[in-house]
């Protein structure tokens, strides 16, 4: 359970330095094109096969996306763009997770 919560937190928080990025485009009312970047959690991004499985499951439930490996020059550019696009996330408080026995 802790591993899942850590991965979910990593996916939702601002992008830092993931091995893989998930990139998706969506259109709204044919006017606005939105580009979203998400960090593939470290546990799933360690192996390419796991990251591709994550992409496949994402595509099945959320729609088309693209997997980007950030350890290449092109991937690094995309990672910088993703961080810049998420600059507003810097001002949002980080999620706090508590493990408490009740």
Per-residue pLDDT of the chain (102 residues; tens, 9 = 90+): 788 888 888 888 888 899 999 999 887 767 788 888 999 999 999 999 999 999 999 999 988 999 999 999 999 999 999 988 875 555 566 667 677 777
Q: How many helices (H) and strands (E) does the chain have?
A: 4, 3
Asked, for residue 97, whether it belongs to a domain, the answer is: no
Asked, for residue 49, whether it belongs to a domain, the answer is: yes
Domain count of the chain?
1
Asked, for residue 39, whether it belongs to a domain, the answer is: yes
Asked, for residue 81, whether it belongs to a domain, the answer is: yes
Residue for token pair 């939702």: 12
Res 28: pLDDT: 73
Asked, for residue 55, whether it belongs to a domain, the answer is: yes
Asked, for residue 44, whether it belongs to a domain, the answer is: yes
**Which DSSP state fits 87?**
G
Phi, then psi, of 6 in degrees rounded to 5:
-65, -45
Res 99: pLDDT: 72
Asked, for residue 41, whether it belongs to a domain, the answer is: yes
Res 95: pLDDT: 67
The pTM (predicted TM-score) of the whole model is: 0.77
């Amino acid at each position: 359970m802790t591993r899942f919560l850590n991965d979910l937190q990593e996916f939702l928080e601002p992008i830092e330095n993931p091995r893989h990025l998930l990139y998706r485009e969506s259109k709204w009312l044919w006017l606005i094109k939105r580009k979203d970047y998400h960090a593939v959690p470290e546990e799933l991004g360690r192996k390419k096969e796991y990251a591709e499985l994550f992409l496949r499951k994402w595509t099945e439930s959320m729609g088309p996306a693209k997997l980007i490996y950030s350890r290449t020059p092109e991937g690094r550019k995309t990672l910088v763009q993703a961080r810049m696009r998420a600059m507003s996330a810097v001002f949002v408080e980080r999620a706090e997770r508590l493990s408490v026995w009740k």
